[in-house]
Amino acid sequence: MSVSYRTPLKRAIGLGSAKHGVHHFVAQRVTAVALALLGIWFVWIALQMLHLDYAGAHALIARPWNALLMVAFAIAVFWHAQLGLQVVIEDYVHATGVAWCAQLTLKFLCFLGAAASVLAVVRITLGH
Amino acid sequence: MPATARPLSPHLSIYRWQIQMVTSILHRATGVALAVGTMLLVAGLLALASGPDAFAQVRQFCASWIGTILLIGWTWALAFHFLNGIRHLLQDAGWGYKPEQFVRNGWISTIGSLAATALLWGFVVWGGA
């Protein structure tokens, strides 16, 4: 093996949590605060849905404030889920290839979930 | 897992069960369960966007016995993750680290989540018009 003249610090800088860890930590907590607030609103909406027929439920989500908050809720939910499940995969999946596939699949699914929710709310609120 | 024969740190089976580990494990488990539950959220929104027939199907699933069991489970998972998440945020701010506070707050999350679930489903079954 050739001798490396780089210091341990030089090799560590820019890698792993030294670069990205705090962003993950902060994003998880920012989305958590958002979801703590939006979650209460969501439960209230879900309870209202109980006694509504299709037209009523459609009209409920089509209201500007509800449509806006539902978009915010969907984005925050899938962002937070991606961050959390990423750590679960990091903790339990140790084979590199499988871990990469799982992380990619997770990111794609979370993005699709958020995008589908937003598109659905747009269609509901613009009427069809 | 590396195949070296290094000694492993003590794992779950070696510890006495206590509320600290229960809340930690449940927070992760309910998080995973809620992530799966978001599929129903997406299905509901897409159904609402596509028409009465699709919406009726989602509603039928929710009213079925398996749908009801899942919804009760997700209600509890949401309640627990919500309460325990607030506990975590307060701890991130530096509060509640004395052992007796830690244990008390763990029990508040756990019992509070069960109470909130009972309250919400009591309202679903008996409350409202």
Question: What is the rounded distance in angstroms from the CA atom of residue A61 to the CA atom of residue A51?
Answer: 14
Which is nearest to A103 in space by CA: A112, A94, A90?
A90
The residues, any chain, with a CB within 8 Å of residue B70's CB and separated by 6 or more, are B37, B40
- Subunit contact B49:A54, Cβ cutoff 8 A: no
Query: In the structure encoding, which two tokens stand for residue A7, read together?
Result: 């210091």
CA B128 vs CA A12, B8, B63: distances in Å: 60, 55, 17
pLDDT in tens, B2-41: 566 777 777 777 788 889 899 999 999 999 999 999 999 9
Residue identified by tokens 């439920």 is: A57
Rounded distance, CA B72 to CA B91, Å?
28
Residues 10-69 of B with CB under 8 A from A: 28, 31-32, 34-35, 38-39, 41-42, 45-46, 48-49, 51-52, 55-56
Using the predicted structure, report yes or no on whether residue B129 has a pLDDT greater than 50: no
pLDDT of residue A69: 98
Regions of chain A with pLDDT less than 50: none
Interface of B with A in 87-106 (CB under 8 A): 88-89, 92
Could you count the other beta carbons within 10 Å of the beta carbon of residue B23?
23
- The first and second tokens of residue B125, run together, are 């079954």
Q: What is the pTM assigned to this prediction?
A: 0.88
ipTM for this prediction: 0.89
The string of pLDDT tens digits covering residues B41-65 is 999 999 999 999 999 999 999 999 9
- Look at residue B1 and tell me whether its pLDDT is greater than 60: no
What does the pLDDT average to over B80-94?
Answer: 96
Kindly tell me if the per-residue pLDDT of B128 is higher than 80. no
Is the pLDDT at B108 greater than 80? The verdict is yes
% helix, strand, coil for chain A, step of 5: 85, 0, 15
With a CB cutoff of 8 Å and minimum separation 6, the contacts of B15 are B21
Which pLDDT score, from 0 to 100, does residue B85 have? 97
Mean pLDDT (chain B, rounded): 92
Query: What per-residue confidence (pLDDT) applies to B27?
Result: 97
Q: What is the pLDDT of residue A1?
A: 57
Note whether A120 contacts B52, CB cutoff 8 Å: no
Which residue among A39, A50, A81 sits closest to B35, beta carbon to beta carbon?
Answer: A81
